[in-house]
Amino acid sequence: MSHEAIEYIMAGGNDQFDPEIVELLVRRIPSYPAGLSVKLSTGDTGIISNPRLGLIARPIIRIFHRPAQGILKNPFDIDLSKPEYQRLLVTQVLEYD
């Protein structure tokens, strides 16, 4: 998964890789590509609707399931780069067989 590769590259940015090249790379390759299903730290489940190139790991996510409500009739988007969502994290990438 690209998010795992980017995490690895960023973690080794100062020791194993040229920091300038790491910076260029992570601004060009989305951590979470469009269409990927993810779970957030709130327990909400959604699909990456816009990976937001240049904003590392802060995509726009269309929320379609909430733990207390189940599948939502009216999914909604959240932009993890906005201040009100800064504390939310993608905690799991969901894979379907």
Q: What is the pTM of this model?
A: 0.77
Higher pLDDT, 26 or 87: 87
Q: Residue 54: left (phi > 0), alpha (psi -120 to 50), or beta?
A: left
Is pLDDT of 29 > 80? no
Distance CA 48, CA 92 (A): 12
Q: Is 61 exposed, middle or buried (0-12, 13-18, 19+ CB in 10 A)?
A: buried
Give the tens place of pLDDT for each residue, 61-82: 999 999 999 999 999 999 999 9
Closest among 39, 36, 55, 33 to 47, alpha carbons compared: 36
pLDDT, residue 86, reads: 87
Q: For the chain, which residues make up each domain, given as ranges?
A: 2-94
Instruction: Find out whether 79 and 90 touch, Cβ atoms under 8 Å.
Output: no
CA 23 to chain centre: 17
Q: pLDDT value at position 95?
A: 76
